[in-house]
Amino acid sequence: MNKFLVCTSMLGLVGSVWDQDFSYLDPTLPPEKRVDILMEQMTLTEKIGQMNQYLALEKMRRKVETNAAENTGNRNKKVAAMLADLDAGLIGSTLFVNSIEESNALQKRAEQSRLKIPLLHAMDSIHGHCAFYGTTIFPTAIGQASSFDLALVEKSQEITAKEMRATGYHWNFWPYMSVARDARWGRVGETFGEDPLVVSRMVTASVKGLQGDDYTDKDRVIACAKVLLGDGQSINGLNFAPTDLSERTLREIFLPPGKAAGDAGCRTFMVAHNEVNGIPCHADRRLLTGILREEWGFEGYTISDWMDVERLNWIHKIAHDQKEAVFLAVYAGVDVHMHGPDFIGPLTELVEEGKISEDRIDRTVRAMLLDKFRMGLFNENRYVDPAAAERVLANAEHRAVALELARNSIVLLKNNNQALPLSKQLKSVLVAGPLADSNALVGDWVYAQPPENITTVLAGIQNLVGAQMKVSYASCSEIMDITDEDIERAVQQAKEVDSVIMVVGGNDARVDEDWKTADGRRNRTGGENRARSEINLAGRQLEMLKAVWETGTPMVVVLINGRPLSIEWVADHVDGIIEAWQPGMNGGVAVAEVLFGDVNPSGKLPISFPRSAGHIQTFYNHKPSTYYREYKFGKTQPLWWFGHGLSYTTFKYSRLKVPQQVTAGSSVPVSIVVENTGTRSGDEVVFLYINDMISSVTTPVKLLKDWARIQLEPGEKKTVEFTLTQEDLALLDINLESVVEPGVFEVMIGGLKKEFVLE
Ligand code: GLC
């Protein structure tokens, strides 16, 4: 047995001697046993230290320098407090470690503490490990969802996990499981859209990709499904603002993705900034213990969002002080406190006073330590090798997946008069607009990257067709800074070319064009904490589009953005429109391929496009009475519904087969024939919707129940088969119980409809 006598002389202490049992460092012992041995020796404060997460050192120093709001007051104290806690072994995890060197250095300091407990390093590696320098950047979630390609999404997350582990990270604050129901909200681009089934499946694929079968394997990370609950439909579309939702809407729309994450074995959950129905989520015991643990059987741990425990006092005003805030949060079910020095003290006092039981603390600490042992962090995996990381980060295989996902995520919104694809016989094209040569196409949560890793739309076009046609570029200021000269330049250059490609939209990137962190800059029109009261093209972009369109030179529009945009004029006037979302590091390659027809677009909208902010809420799974009446002026229906997306080929749907009668309790086989009736090979996403025609409570006019992504050569036909389960037919009755009601159901696929009777 590895028992060491630690002498006072070795520790430089005088007057006390104790035995320390380091046998938990022995990797041959079972992890559970190692946890027992270690916990036996931990003081209460050391245990609570495991629940304490800090922003990593370099990042914190920078925050202190930039005077970030939440650091006001005792800023330097924070850095000092972090280091003191680290040396005392009172930090369980960090977020946003800056480099491999920093990861190793922090682990080293932790190893020098009394019990040598390693740190879990956490980060938001949301579409690739993209807050870290030199990594693979995939399309953001809204684009991933547009691909409806679960296998590729899973693959992208598997790569993310690999790159995270190679750089010393263990815990990813991903996937986002919020359903986006308000396009004004800045975080729409981070979500998988408006449909709970799509979000649930994308979340499941992401958890699988990150965690694999066993998240403690050396290439995998702990996933964190975020956030509980309901931030996708906040009042006024503002981040942090209250959410007021019926129990029915919570259970039908917002909770299913969380349940799916739990069922997929997601090890951790993050709590939402907002309140739901008067209870801030961080103090909601019914949510964090009742639903999460008791209903869903969750056994992992939860984490607060950034300083949100503090906000129970500062903002929500349901706690008199920090100690009461900590009590409310831990009692409700918050396990890890994200960032800040005022946690260990209050929680230690609360346990000593008997207000929080030590068993409650032990539950969290046991789960976290078990992960650290199983991940090998006490032993062989504590440190990482920078040379090995170089072979993994953004390697050719990873970049190829980023490109494939970008290709599959692009949505052809409109294509009249065969505006697209553009002919490669054109003599000249102009690429213009504020996003033509912009890094904004990487999306939110990306920090500095080697510039050569990113292909902008302009570069993608130059690379693809630059040798055979003249590609000119009208330089342009950033979105909110467009000048008369910018517009005039584009107009003059448009007059001299065969065709114009206008690249407009939004900018969610946290960095400026020089890859400097510039969170607060005015040209950031979307992303976290960037809600808008309008969802139009920000700044003078529309004016610029109109001016160029007036020249009469044929024009197509490429949108780079994270939220649906109200672009009625564009939809009415421009024949060719592409929604590229934020397609990641190879986005410009994929956009160019779609523009010139090397790739046939196949993405479908995972979210509807309202005509204006005044049309919000707009989602396809609406109730039958939603559009019974119309707005007095202008059109009521959206520009494009969820599921919309064109192709350069045509698909014909026929022979929808559904049984006429179905006996209670049995499943329903459905099939359809899809044929490529055009001249090009293409991928099609086949959607299966149902409608419960008459029910005891109102149900949406259509609900997505399944989909299949298929590939068809010209003239090729495929029969696509689906099975509707009883669960698919269920509704929540007047008592919110899940029941299947007999009666008529309608099945809808590709414009065809058929009914069946459930006995
Ligand atoms: C933020 C975000 C959350 C993120 C966390 C850590 O406040 O709301 O999504 O995981 O900070 O970066």
Predicted pLDDT of residue 519: 64
Encoding tokens for residue 745? Answer: 């159901």
| CA neighbor of 745 nearest in space, from 689, 696, 697 | 689
Q: Please, where are the H alpha helices in 294-445?
A: 308-314, 322-332, 344-352, 358-374, 386-392, 396-409
In the reported structure, the alpha carbon of residue 306 is separated from the centroid of ligand 1 by a whole-number distance in angstroms of 6
**What pLDDT digit, counting tens, does each position of 642-685 carry?**
999 999 999 999 999 999 999 999 999 999 999 999 999 999 99
Give yes or no for a contact between 659 and 669, defined as CB atoms under 8 angstroms apart: yes
Encoding tokens for residue 445? Answer: 């949560």
Atom of ligand 1 nearest to the CA of 270: 10
The list of the chain residues with pLDDT below 70 reads: 1-18, 63-77, 518-520
CA 332 to mean position of chain CA atoms: 25
In the reported structure, the alpha carbon of residue 214 is separated from the centroid of ligand 1 by a whole-number distance in angstroms of 25
The DSSP annotation for 233-244 comes to G-GGG-TT--B-
Q: Please, where are the H alpha helices in 148-239?
A: 150-166, 196-211
Instruction: Please give the Cα distance from 372 to 202 (Å, whole number).
Output: 27
Give yes or no for a contact between 592 and 464, defined as CB atoms under 8 angstroms apart: yes
First to last CA, the chain: 68
Strands 279-280 and 171-172: unpaired
Instruction: Please give the Cα distance from 472 to 379 (Å, whole number).
Output: 57
Predicted pLDDT of residue 81: 81
Q: What is the DSSP letter of 250?
A: I
The residues lining ligand 1, judged by C-beta closer than 6 Å to any ligand atom, are 95, 124, 173, 226, 305-306, 528
Encoding tokens for residue 300? Answer: 């992992």
Nearest residue (CA) to ligand 1, atom 8:
305
List, in sequence order, every beta strand (DSSP E) within 216-364: 222-228, 268-271, 275-276, 279-280, 301-303, 337-338
| CA neighbor of 603 nearest in space, from 412, 335, 431 | 412
3-state helix, strand, coil in the chain (%, to 5): 35, 20, 45
| 454 dihedral zone (left: phi>0; alpha: psi -120 to 50; beta) | beta
Predicted pLDDT of residue 18: 57
Atom of ligand 1 nearest to the CA of 227: 9
Three-state secondary structure call for residue 711: strand
Predicted pLDDT of residue 113: 97
Predicted pLDDT of residue 63: 65
| CA neighbor of 62 nearest in space, from 49, 75, 53, 52 | 75
CA angle 596, 600, 603 (to 5 degrees): 120
Atom of ligand 1 nearest to the CA of 224: 10
In the reported structure, the alpha carbon of residue 188 is separated from the centroid of ligand 1 by a whole-number distance in angstroms of 14
Encoding tokens for residue 414? Answer: 């409109």
In the reported structure, the alpha carbon of residue 282 is separated from the centroid of ligand 1 by a whole-number distance in angstroms of 14
The 3-state secondary structure of 558-604, one letter per residue? EEECCCCCCCHHHHHHCCEEEECCCCCCCHHHHHHHHHCCCCCCCCC
Secondary structure element (H or E) that encloses residue 123, with its range: strand 120-123
| Tally of residues, the chain | 759
Three-state secondary structure call for residue 441: helix
Burial (0-12, 13-18, 19+ Cβ within 10 Å), 541: buried
- Out of 63, 95, 123, 124, mutate this one to test ligand 1's pocket (max ligand atoms within 8 Å of CB): namely 124
> 273 φ, ψ to 5°?
-65, -30
- Out of 55, 306, 519, 530, mutate this one to test ligand 1's pocket (max ligand atoms within 8 Å of CB): namely 306
- Out of 305, 309, 510, mutate this one to test ligand 1's pocket (max ligand atoms within 8 Å of CB): namely 305
In the reported structure, the alpha carbon of residue 273 is separated from the centroid of ligand 1 by a whole-number distance in angstroms of 9
In the reported structure, the alpha carbon of residue 551 is separated from the centroid of ligand 1 by a whole-number distance in angstroms of 45
Three-state secondary structure call for residue 107: helix
Give yes or no for a contact between 282 and 309, defined as CB atoms under 8 angstroms apart: yes
Instruction: Please give the Cα distance from 597 to 283 (Å, whole number).
Output: 53
- Out of 173, 234, 303, mutate this one to test ligand 1's pocket (max ligand atoms within 8 Å of CB): namely 173
**Catalytic amino acids?**
305
- Domains annotated for the chain, with CATH where assigned, are 31-386 (3.20.20.300), 400-615 (3.40.50.1700), 651-758 (2.60.40.10)
Cα dist. 608→532, 604, 638 in Å? 17, 10, 7
Give yes or no for a contact between 131 and 411, defined as CB atoms under 8 angstroms apart: no
What is the CB neighbour count within 10 angstroms for residue 69?
A: 8
Atom of ligand 1 nearest to the CA of 96: 12
In the reported structure, the alpha carbon of residue 239 is separated from the centroid of ligand 1 by a whole-number distance in angstroms of 12
Nearest residue (CA) to ligand 1, atom 3:
305
**What pLDDT digit, counting tens, does each position of 414-460 carry?**
999 999 999 999 999 999 999 999 999 999 999 999 999 999 999 99
In the reported structure, the alpha carbon of residue 305 is separated from the centroid of ligand 1 by a whole-number distance in angstroms of 6
Instruction: Please give the Cα distance from 351 to 67 (Å, whole number).
Output: 34
What is the CB neighbour count within 10 angstroms for residue 155?
A: 18
Nearest residue (CA) to ligand 1, atom 11:
306
Instruction: Please give the Cα distance from 659 to 326 (Å, whole number).
Output: 57
Atom of ligand 1 nearest to the CA of 239: 8
Give yes or no for a contact between 307 and 70, defined as CB atoms under 8 angstroms apart: yes
List, in sequence order, every beta strand (DSSP E) within 352-456: 411-415, 428-432
Atom of ligand 1 nearest to the CA of 226: 9
Cα dist. 590→583, 596, 599, 603, 616 in Å? 8, 10, 8, 12, 31
What is the CB neighbour count within 10 angstroms for residue 367?
A: 17
Instruction: Please give the Cα distance from 290 to 228 (Å, whole number).
Output: 13
